[in-house]
Structure 1
Amino acid sequence: MTTALEIPSLTILPLTVSHSNLLADAKAAVLVLFPDWADKDLALVQCKDGITNKLVRCTNQQKDLSVLIRAYGKNSERLIDRNQELINIHILSEYSLCPPLYGKFNNGIVYGFIPGDPLKAPGMSDPHVSSLVAHRLAEWHQVKIPGPKTSKLFPILHKWFNEVIAVYASEPSTHRFHQLFSIDTIKQELAFLQKRLEAINAPVVFSHNDLLCANIIYNKSQDKVSFIDHEYATYNYRGFDIGNHFAEFAGYDCDYSLYPSKAFQLRWLTEYLTTATGAAPTDAQVHDLYREVNHFYLASHFYWGLWAMVQSSFSDIDFDYMEYAKMRLDEYYKQRDVMFSI
């Protein structure tokens, strides 16, 4: 497999961008990476949509060019394969599906900026924009990356479950966790979910796995969408990537009244399959994918529920991860029998 050091033209910077000195350290990294840039020309602003990392946009006003500096979240390597992220960006840029990777520092990366506006949760259901997303995701799913084409979904879920056990087994500060969740119940439910979903034999594709509104950039002047933040991208079940996207219509507030209707999903899935296969799908193909997606929708809640449980133990970002985990798992249990009846 390609490693970070084997990625062509990747500059490795012996610098650390501290969360407590974010803008100054980010500027220092940029000035080392781009030695012809002048300090006086740079404008930096922190982007605050994310809940994993610290992100800064640096604009060279003289050149009218922006780059992004991402300082990884504290201990986030327990959740994310950072070397895989570098490989993802490098390969996606070769497919013209993301901007270039300029450099890596001790705890983060510098990469290209995509002009446009992140979607907001209500905008996810816009008929035109959502159609663009369906076409773009179908293109994503054609990407090939090094390594076996096998789904990482359940290996990741079991890894995160083991992280939860390690974190919450003995520390006295975990009282809230034990009030909200049962390790034994989660373990049993994970085994049940794995058995049901693996029986579907869903196609495995290169998946984004985190296609929420803030990770979809709409450039109105070009009428195109782009996907950003590729740290969770890997081979996964097609149904998971689409089901997770539909789950994210609810936003961080988990307003599941925004979950797309069956009619909306059927239109979206028709657009997706048309791009993916190069031909108009049959009604049966669309309905089969609808069933697949709504079964894997359940896995999305389990995925981010476990993720949030792990994050709650170490992240220094101001976000109530434990409450978020509860909302995701509550929705899982609420919808489990409904979705499996489709």
Structure 2
Amino acid sequence: MAIKTIGFSDGSLPEELMQILVRLASRWEDVNDPHLIEVKRLSGAMTNEIFEIFWPNEKVDVHHRKVLVRVYGEGVEVFFNRDDEIRTFESLSYHADDLRDPEISALIAVKMREFHSLDMPGTKTVFLWNRLRRWLRKAKSLCTLSEIKDFGLDCLGDEIQLLEKELTQDGQEIGFCHNDLQYGNIMIDEVTKSVTLIDYEYASYNPVAYDLANHFSEMAANYHTDTPHIMDYTKYPDEEERRRFIFAYLTSSGDDPCDSEVENMVQDAEKYSLANHLFWGLWGIISAYVNNIDFNYKEYARQRFQQYWLRKPKLLGPFVGPLADGQIGF
């Protein structure tokens, strides 16, 4: 029997994958026709393609069967360990209900707090700094000498060391962080108004302030325009908006934080935005060489590095560590 796709389909899935989906649905008693598949491409992914798959059901009181399918892009093994990611997916599948909240007012702050509280397998140590150093080595191995100079890669080893020293604090909260909480990885069910976080390929233990910084930074992005690589930092949340988000984040677990606790986390998240700019800047350079998705990765990297040098004196002080001194050719 032929496979029939219905509804919106942006591009087609490989035939082999479609056959796997049919075999999967054949095991479910509440699917009338496993060959009747609705495919919807979810936008917002710059490394992989993600599709939402539905099997319609004639019974109005029964929800459609639905799964998410990721088709991996080329070269992504440079950024993360595939076996580690699969283990993360398997473990997170047991927490699916924990990643949902019926109250729309809770939204992402509540979900982030729940996500950070997950007890995941593996070492519970900060991954950020070693990952930055590994990506820097990879980026330098891919770039020409002129690109290394243009992007200022030779000085970023010192910058990573400086940030690790300046930002690491005794007693800082470490949690299981998503590390890529852009809007394309946040799903809201239109019926139940529950929130689900998807796409865990970069997830690891890190300071929770870093994950907050990443989410705030992603608010400057719009990946649905003709120039998705351009960041608009006028859309970066202002201090009051960040404070409200962090207050909701802290209170969602039943805490009653004082003003100083909220303010400290607001400031910590701002400082960790510097590490976030280096993280995605290096990601952009490597992606330009290993990924064939139509995205101007190098220009994206240039903007993230530019923002790093712009914000560093304001967040760490003008005399902390070396300045750019024209090392980056913007």
Q: TM-score scaled to structure 2, two decimals?
A: 0.80
Q: 1:245-275 CA distances to partner (integer Å, 9 max, x unpaired)? A: 1111101431111111111111111111112
Name the structure 2 match of 1:187.
157
Is 1:46 the counterpart of 2:41? The answer is: yes
Give the CA deviation at 1:283.
0.6
Q: Distance in 2 between matches of 1:317 and 1:71?
A: 13
Q: CA RMSD in A?
A: 2.7
Q: Distance in 1 between matches of 2:237 and 2:298?
A: 26
Aligned 8 A contact 2:148 2:154 in 1 = no
Give SS of 2:92's match.
helix
The 5 Å alignment of 1:85-100 reads 85-97=85-97
Name the structure 2 match of 1:25.
16
Pick from 238, 241, 258: which aligns with 2:235?
A: 258
Aligned 8 A contact 2:187 2:196 in 1 = yes
Task: Tell which structure's C-alpha radius of gyration is larger.
Answer: 2
Give the CA deviation at 1:97.
4.8
| CA gap 1:51/1:94 in 2 versus in 1, 3 angstroms | same
Give SS of 1:250's match.
coil
Give the CA deviation at 1:66.
2.4
Gaps of 5+ in 1: 1-19, 100-113, 117-127
The 5 Å alignment of 1:86-165 reads 86-97=86-97, 131-165=106-140
Q: Distance in 1 between matches of 2:41 and 2:76?
A: 19
Q: 1:289-316 CA distances to partner (integer Å, 9 max, x unpaired)? A: 1111111111111111111111110101
Gaps of 5+ in 2: 1-10, 59-63, 223-229, 319-330
Pick from 320, 323, 328: which aligns with 2:304?
A: 328
Give SS of 1:151's match.
coil
Is 1:206 the counterpart of 2:176? The answer is: yes
Q: Which moved more, 1:213-222 or 1:329-338?
A: 213-222
Q: Distance in 2 between matches of 1:307 and 1:201?
A: 29
Q: Distance in 2 between matches of 1:97 and 1:87?
A: 18
Q: 1:302-334 CA distances to partner (integer Å, 9 max, x unpaired)? A: 111111111110101111111110111111111
Q: Which moved more, 1:215-224 or 1:194-203?
A: 194-203
| CA gap 1:274/1:169 in 2 versus in 1, 3 angstroms | same
Q: Distance in 1 between matches of 2:141 and 2:88?
A: 29
Q: Distance in 1 between matches of 2:152 and 2:133?
A: 16
Aligned 8 A contact 1:23 1:44 in 2 = no
Q: What amino acid is the match of 1:280?
A: D
Give SS of 2:45's match.
coil
| CA gap 1:191/1:279 in 2 versus in 1, 3 angstroms | closer
Q: What amino acid is the match of 2:182?
A: L
Q: What amino acid is the match of 2:115?
A: W
Name the structure 1 match of 2:244.
267
The 5 Å alignment of 1:290-329 reads 290-329=266-305
Aligned 8 A contact 1:59 1:66 in 2 = yes
Aligned 8 A contact 1:41 1:62 in 2 = no
Q: Distance in 1 between matches of 2:242 and 2:105?
A: 10
Q: Distance in 2 between matches of 1:284 and 1:301?
A: 26
Aligned 8 A contact 2:26 2:34 in 1 = no
| CA gap 1:130/1:216 in 2 versus in 1, 3 angstroms | farther
Name the structure 1 match of 2:185.
215
Q: Distance in 2 between matches of 1:327 and 1:137?
A: 26
Q: Distance in 1 between matches of 2:192 and 2:26?
A: 32
Aligned 8 A contact 2:43 2:184 in 1 = no
Q: Distance in 2 between matches of 1:159 and 1:29?
A: 36
Give the CA deviation at 1:341.
4.8
Name the structure 1 match of 2:56.
61
Aligned 8 A contact 1:98 1:226 in 2 = no
Aligned residues: percent identity?
28
| CA gap 1:217/1:312 in 2 versus in 1, 3 angstroms | same
| CA gap 1:164/1:228 in 2 versus in 1, 3 angstroms | same
| CA gap 1:94/1:157 in 2 versus in 1, 3 angstroms | same
Give the CA deviation at 1:148.
2.1
Give SS of 1:211's match.
coil
Name the structure 1 match of 2:81.
81
Query: How many positions carry a matched residue from both structures?
Result: 291
Q: Distance in 2 between matches of 1:181 and 1:130?
A: 41
Q: What amino acid is the match of 1:51?
A: M
Give the CA deviation at 1:214.
0.9
Give SS of 1:318's match.
coil
Q: Distance in 1 between matches of 2:244 and 2:88?
A: 29
Give SS of 1:313's match.
helix
Pick from 204, 210, 218: which aligns with 1:248?
A: 218
Give the CA deviation at 1:199.
4.4
Specify which structure has the higher proportion of helix.
1
Give the CA deviation at 1:185.
2.1
Is 1:168 the counterpart of 2:143? The answer is: yes
